[in-house]
Amino acid sequence: MLQFGVMKILFLLSVFILLFASVGTGREGDKGWINQTGNDLLPICTAGVELLDKKDLGRDRANDALNCLHYVGGFLDGYGMASVIEKGKPALCLPKNANTGQVVRILAKWLKDHPERLNESAATCMFAALVDAFVCKSP
């Protein structure tokens, strides 16, 4: 078996997921997930939090919210697979009861708290938010 670092596997899985999950919203000008940045994630994940809070959203805003939830869920699935493949020390220590909704809230807050990083890729922003929230503590 090839020896890959957690970051390499996470990156490769993220790229794979993003390539096959970039169905977009069907709106004109939609650039797919592969070209998204934090600037693109902020409004849709803000909508995601509104959906989780059971606010009444219009069709387009609800679609944005679901896009965020699907992106976060796919990212977490990719990270989970990378953790299974890589037998070393994990980079993240997600609580067993963590769910997609919780991570959407963490991501939306991180994006609002780090406007200087919104020009970075969506995957970079997502991983940075997870590291800030769930980095494994050294014993």
CATH class held by domain 6-17+35-134: mainly alpha
pLDDT confidence of residue 112: 97
The encoded tokens of residue 10 equal 């996470």
pLDDT confidence of residue 2: 40
The mean per-residue pLDDT over the stretch 104-117 comes to 96
Instruction: Tell me the per-residue pLDDT of 37-79, one tens digit each, with 9 for 90 and over.
Output: 999 999 999 999 999 999 999 999 999 999 999 999 988 888 8
The encoded tokens of residue 100 equal 């997609």
User: Where residue 1 falls among pLDDT bands split at 50, 70, 90?
Assistant: very low
Which residue in 35, 108, 121, 34 sits closest to 68, CA to CA? 108
More confidently predicted of 94 and 7: 94
Q: Cα 5 to chain center, whole Å? A: 20
